[in-house]
């Protein structure tokens, strides 16, 4: 990110999901893939752990997967390739073109200034915020377009989630900063 404005914006986690096969025999996969656990009493899918890049992949009998712990596009591409290779290795035929896409990004950002959350909770549009300091120390601000949820802490640190790409996260951040400029 060459833009100085977004210098402290950091991707913490990316979640991607999609379909990689028509169906997956979870017992066969979990017994032969390695780094994979299956406990159908606790969870309906197998948990396949990838060491490098460090990703957890939830594998379902429907052929769907959910990848989490991703930090960038390369890690997503590499992680998906490892899952496909593992499927082939245990004799499960993957789709010719797996359809996997980013469904959520979690980013952190530092505004670099203290925020009076009590004042902010009173002056922001009440429909889009939740603030219960007895329950949680941050203010939850829901931005409608793009659909981003921002956790705002008095330290000036933010957690932004809900975006499917960095552009959504940046637009959400810009929307928040415009709103903050009018109320603080």
CATH number at 153 reads 3.30.310.10
69: left (phi over 0), alpha (psi -120 to 50) or beta: left
For 125, the token pair is 């549009």
Asked if 160 and 152 count as a contact pair (C-beta separation under 8 A), the reply is: no
Question: In which domain, by residue range, is 72 found?
Answer: 15-102
Domain boundary among 102, 124, 150: 102
pTM score, whole prediction = 0.88
Residues 115 and 173 both lie in one domain: yes
| CA triple 75-18-49, angle to 5 deg | 50
Mean model confidence pLDDT for the chain: 92
Instruction: Tell me what pLDDT residue 72 has.
Output: 94
Residues 117 and 178 both lie in one domain: yes
Instruction: Tell me what pLDDT residue 150 has.
Output: 96
Residues 21 and 92 both lie in one domain: yes
For 30, the token pair is 């979990």
The residues with which 68 forms a beta bridge, in sequence order, are 56
Domain boundary among 38, 70, 102: 102
Instruction: Tell me what pLDDT residue 1 has.
Output: 41
């Amino acid at each position: 990110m060459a833009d100085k404005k977004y210098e402290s914006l950091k991707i913490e986690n990316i979640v991607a999901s999609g379909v990689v096969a028509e169906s997956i025999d979870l017992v066969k996969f979990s017994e032969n893939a390695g780094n994979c656990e299956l406990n159908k009493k606790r969870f309906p899918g197998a948990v396949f752990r990838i060491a490098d890049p460090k990703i957890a992949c939830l594998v379902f009998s429907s052929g769907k997967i959910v990848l989490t712990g991703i930090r960038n596009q390369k890690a997503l591409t590499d992680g998906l390739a490892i899952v496909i290779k593992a499927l082939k290795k245990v004799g499960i035929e993957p789709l010719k073109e797996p359809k996997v896409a980013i469904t959520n990004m979690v980013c952190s950002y530092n505004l670099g200034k203290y925020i009076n959350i009590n004042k902010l909770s009173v002056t922001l549009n009440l429909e889009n915020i939740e603030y219960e300091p007895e329950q949680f120390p941050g203010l939850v601000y829901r931005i409608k377009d793009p659909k981003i949820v921002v956790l705002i802490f008095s330290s000036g640190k933010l957690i932004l989630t809900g975006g499917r790409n960095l552009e959504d996260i940046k637009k959400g951040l810009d929307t928040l900063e415009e709103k903050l400029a009018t109320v603080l």
